[in-house]
Structure 1
Amino acid sequence: MLKRFYHAFQPRKISRDSFEILPSHELLQHLGFLRQTQSGLVNWLPIGLRSLNKIENIVRNRMNDEGHAMEVQLSTLSPKGLWETTGRWSNTELFKLRDARKAEFCLTPTCEEDITNLMKNYISTYKDMPLLVYQITKKYRDELRPRAGLLRGREFLMKDAYSFTGNREDALKMFDQMNAVYSQIFTDLGIPFVSAWADSGDIGGDLSKEYHYVHPSGEDTLLTCNNCGTSSNIEKCESFPQEMNTHLGDVNVKYTLNKAHDTLICFYYPKDRQLNWNLAMEAAEHDVDGSMRYMGEDEVLKIFQESNEDLLFSRVLRIMDCRLSSRSNFPDFPLRQYLKSNFGQIDDVSLVEAHEGEICGICNEGLLKANKTIEVGHTFHLGTKYSEALAAQFTDRDNKISAIEMGCYGIGVSRLLGAIGEITRDKQGFRWPSKIAPYRVSICVAPGNNEIKQRIKQEIQETMGNEIMDKFNEKLGLGARISYSHAIGIPLCIIAGPKNWPNVEIEVRGKNWLNDNIPTWREAHKKLHDTLKWRVIEGDSKPEKHIVPIEHLSRVLALLLKDL
């Protein structure tokens, strides 16, 4: 019964033509990894769940061993009151619901509110910290336009971790520690990645880093310097033109006020560029009323007028993007009466989103290269945003009551499977790194050769354990079984039949995505090919094949898997 149930999730026909034209999410469905129920929601099937669990375990092992974190699991339902306290209940991506007593909740998209409310019960003094806790649970976001399957879903599996420390210095040490752990996690996953400085967005805090896979299908853009190697999200990247003060066209202006509302701040920048709010804030030394970011000109000026009795004596600060010149076409100034002596001006700062080919704002030497990327992880130093709002306090060394310093660290676990699938797919299907492939080895023999299959399985059982795929739909012939094994991304396929027995053939589907150097098996082959009777067949248009007697199969498999 179990065997029949397992076969039910496998395709009866393997159509290679579909592999190149199907989007990755549809290919995952076609090959039996998962099934979409509706836009943004999926059911996980056996082989998909195997890979998902492997990713989850890689993350969990590093969090436990290197991060020294404690695992918890919070409720999926979060009460409205917590989100109102932090000002996030109005978020349009929250799934909201009421219970039978009309109490309101949301399905958690992230857990800053809940974890802070929980941990404040267990932290009373500086001696209780530092602490790092994490969970791997489903999260929910009411995406208006779910797309790309697992890359932007409404329900997804996420690892979210939270740190609690007694001061900013320790919080930044924890931030650095977690970024080191993240580098280990993404190295373990076996796909090249890029870490980049990023904007903290609505989560809050003043420091954050993103983790990305470079791929043309990505929605994000990273800019990387060819000199210092620094990568930054486009919202965080500072750049300078190769020639300053050369813009002769129209100029846009963004008006805002300082925090005291006694100074009108005017950001001037080329009309054909996009204002970078983070750079604008830095240019104004962060003395800006952030609530005015999306306000129109008239609304800002109205608040300015109401806050200052006589605009004639009010202060104005003009901040000029370094691309502008005295010959640029500036818009009319909105105040009719003013004193020029009350004007201040800052010149030659960068206020706009960076473009490829411009000069890096970090080293001021290299040029920026833009790449489309898929974001898969994000770390934040939160400061005291949530602890102050939710009264999470402790007694410090001087016996004073202080707010706890926090950080949060997220990895999209199910998103990783979608991203890696997108990156590794080719005309034959998926080509997973061996650590997250649903199985590491498949046994493909023609129907009716069960004795050969059982002999192979017996030979490799001790070293491969439950990493052996040998259950195929009975309606698939040998060729279709091999195609299915390659399609679902099993790194090594063992092929055998009565004709060449007791020799077996190992067809290599896997690839070392992190290292293009000479495979380590070649050195072993030089020394052992006579002893193991190990033959290798390679060709540009055909997969790499290794032929060995059955008694040496397990040893050769182990050598090959080191590279995959």
Structure 2
Amino acid sequence: MYASNDTNTDDSHSLLIRGGFLRPAHSGVFHLLPLGLRVQNKLESLIDKHMRSIGASKLSLSSITTEELWKQSGRYSSNSELLRIDDRRKSNFLLSPTHEEEITSLVASIVRSYKQLPLRLYQTGRKYRDERRPRQGLLRAKEFMMKDLYTFDCNHEDALKTYEEVRKAYNNLFDELKIPYLVADADSGNMGGKLSHEYHFVSPKGEDNVWRCQSCNYVANEELVEKKTIEHAAPLGHPPLLFKGISTDRTTAINIRVPRPPNVPANENPSWSRASEFLNLHAVKRTGVDIDAGIESETLSSLLLKTTSSIDINDQSLTDSTTTSSSPTYDLTPIKRDDPCPRCDSGKLRVSKAIEVGHTFHLGTRYSTPLSALVAGPNNQQPSAMHMGCHGIGVSRLIGSIASMMAHENGLHWPRVIAPFEVVVITTKEVSEENNMEVYDALAAQGDIDVVLDDRKAQKGMPWRMKDADLIGYPVKVILGKSWRENSEGREKREVEVQCPRLDVKKKVKVEQLKSEVSDLLDRL
């Protein structure tokens, strides 16, 4: 498998542009050119293959949705990244960033009985978001391609079985790309539900932090990662740090106490801007307290005077002498490199930057209940809400991240399964069209190798075409060069040069053995 390197993500994006895969249209918006569309189409075909393996049916939902549906589900916010359409009738349309509301409404209008379940529907289409700061090319754009699968079951147990089937299909899909990936326990966020997993490529240019154990298979994202609980008391003479906050509804004062590190003087209490140095804010969120940590200290002081109740949240290491005995305790300190793994006895935790390329969510009845997606059960049972799952793969983001992961100093590498062409035949103007086609046909026969002939009439010669092939990233190159011309009159001696950069292969091959040699190289990729 091909390992990640330190190639700059912006450099890989420029390689996609220079290689003729895409062109920027506007900030965060891109046009796909023919080579880029071939990569995208092959990736979609790979996805289709693995969606069929779990009995999913493909459909195409409209890119337009409405504020009304999003208000029904409780996800609408005027401050969110939703792109709005202001039509002449003021219809409050939105460009969909995701389709939970629309698919639930559609299924609710069609499915009435448990006998019509399970149902697995997916699409690959354009999504939109009002991205405040588009960056890193296809990795963070306003318009993007995404595959989303929606599953519907009549009860919780069946929905969990479906969830595991989808996870298996995702693993098989990513295995076929032959690029190392991580599957992390994840937080569901505003999608809803309490069970989800993220698929990541480890990359220094990623925006996510993924923690993993060096000894066992424990992997979790930053929101859910835990460390092993170790009981110890706060050092004497070191009063705890106190972070004062307020609930988002402004009614409750929140006091959070964590151990004071030895390098923080006893009379100093760091501000919220430095809280992440001493406090795991994700752990605070998991306590169930809805805290607003983004208020300036002057404003916060005046708001706290108006609160009607208070909550104390204390780190588990603090002794009763520093907290009230009735206050709940949690592990609130930040997770650090080499902290003990929560799942095994000897493992240590390490963190890596990563790019998220897929996500699976078990939604339960998060959308089916508010949108009345109900089915009648067996034996005339009363209608109940369907149990749902949502499973996404960022198609355009996956293309951008693979380019980032597999770029090299001269251009791109592609996994065989999504390469724009598996093989390029490179020739010069000295070679006749008849000879070009002889070599091309030797590879293209039976249609099992995806091959392209570079016989462009440009004035630039073989060196330019070779550099262009490296830039585009064809897995295998077949060259009709010096060896072919020198033996052009002796058919039995004619040889082409075969190169496979990823396998470090460069060899002379007779035309009669060409297809078997190239097929062997492709099978090894």
Q: TM-score range by the shorter chain?
A: 0.7 to 0.9
Residues 152-551 of structure 1 correspond to what in structure 2 (within 5 A)? 152-240=140-228, 244-245=232-233, 248=238, 251-253=241-243, 266-270=255-259, 271=275, 273=277, 275-276=279-280, 278-280=282-284, 282=286, 284=287, 286=288, 288=289, 290=290, 299=303, 302-305=306-309, 318-324=312-318, 344-347=326-329, 349-363=330-344, 365-397=346-378, 399-449=381-431, 450-464=433-447, 467-473=450-456, 474-497=458-481, 498-501=485-488, 502-511=494-503, 543-551=504-512
Q: What code does the residue aligned with 1:442 have?
A: V
TM-fit CA distance, 1:192: 1.0
Cα distance in 1, alignment partners of residues 150 and 180 from structure 2: 26
- Asked whether the equivalents of residues 233 and 317 of structure 2 are also in contact (C-alpha less than 8 Å), the reply is yes
- Asked whether the equivalents of residues 10 and 137 of structure 2 are also in contact (C-alpha less than 8 Å), the reply is no
Picking from 28, 39, 42, the partner of 1:51 is 39
How many residue pairs end up in the alignment? 485
Alignment CA distance shift 1:56-1:275 (3 Å):
farther
Q: What code does the residue aligned with 2:84 have?
A: K
Which residue of the partner structure matches residue 66 of structure 2?
79
> Relative to structure 2, which stretch is displaced further, 474-483 or 402-411?
474-483
Q: What code does the residue aligned with 1:86 have?
A: S
1:60 and 2:45 aligned: no
Cα distance in 2, alignment partners of residues 298 and 433 from structure 1: 58
Secondary structure of the 1:380 match is strand
Q: What code does the residue aligned with 2:257 have?
A: Y
What TM-score do you get using the length of structure 1 for normalisation? 0.80
TM-fit CA distance, 1:294: 6.2
Alignment CA distance shift 1:173-1:31 (3 Å):
same
TM-fit CA distance, 1:253: 3.1
Alignment CA distance shift 1:101-1:272 (3 Å):
closer
Alignment CA distance shift 1:456-1:249 (3 Å):
farther
- C-alpha offsets along residues 319-351 of structure 1, whole Å, 9 cap, x if unaligned? 4224556798x9xxxxxxxxx7xx61334x312
Q: What code does the residue aligned with 2:426 have?
A: C
- Asked whether the equivalents of residues 373 and 385 of structure 2 are also in contact (C-alpha less than 8 Å), the reply is yes
TM-fit CA distance, 1:115: 0.4
Picking from 96, 114, 120, the partner of 1:108 is 96
Q: What code does the residue aligned with 2:373 have?
A: A
Aligned Cα root-mean-square deviation (Å):
2.8
- Asked whether the equivalents of residues 376 and 412 of structure 1 are also in contact (C-alpha less than 8 Å), the reply is yes
TM-fit CA distance, 1:465: 5.5
Cα distance in 1, alignment partners of residues 113 and 277 from structure 2: 50
- Asked whether the equivalents of residues 97 and 129 of structure 2 are also in contact (C-alpha less than 8 Å), the reply is yes
Cα distance in 2, alignment partners of residues 274 and 413 from structure 1: 38
- Asked whether the equivalents of residues 202 and 353 of structure 2 are also in contact (C-alpha less than 8 Å), the reply is yes
Cα distance in 1, alignment partners of residues 311 and 132 from structure 2: 40
- Asked whether the equivalents of residues 8 and 404 of structure 2 are also in contact (C-alpha less than 8 Å), the reply is no
TM-fit CA distance, 1:365: 3.8
Q: What code does the residue aligned with 2:389 have?
A: G
TM-fit CA distance, 1:428: 1.4
- Asked whether the equivalents of residues 238 and 353 of structure 1 are also in contact (C-alpha less than 8 Å), the reply is no
Cα distance in 2, alignment partners of residues 390 and 291 from structure 1: 29
> Relative to structure 2, which stretch is displaced further, 470-479 or 409-418?
470-479
The unaligned stretches of length 5 or more in structure 1 are: 1-18, 306-315, 331-339, 512-542
Secondary structure of the 1:187 match is helix
Cα distance in 2, alignment partners of residues 29 and 124 from structure 1: 49
What TM-score do you get using the length of structure 2 for normalisation? 0.85
- Asked whether the equivalents of residues 95 and 140 of structure 1 are also in contact (C-alpha less than 8 Å), the reply is yes
Alignment CA distance shift 1:109-1:300 (3 Å):
farther
Cα distance in 2, alignment partners of residues 124 and 447 from structure 1: 67
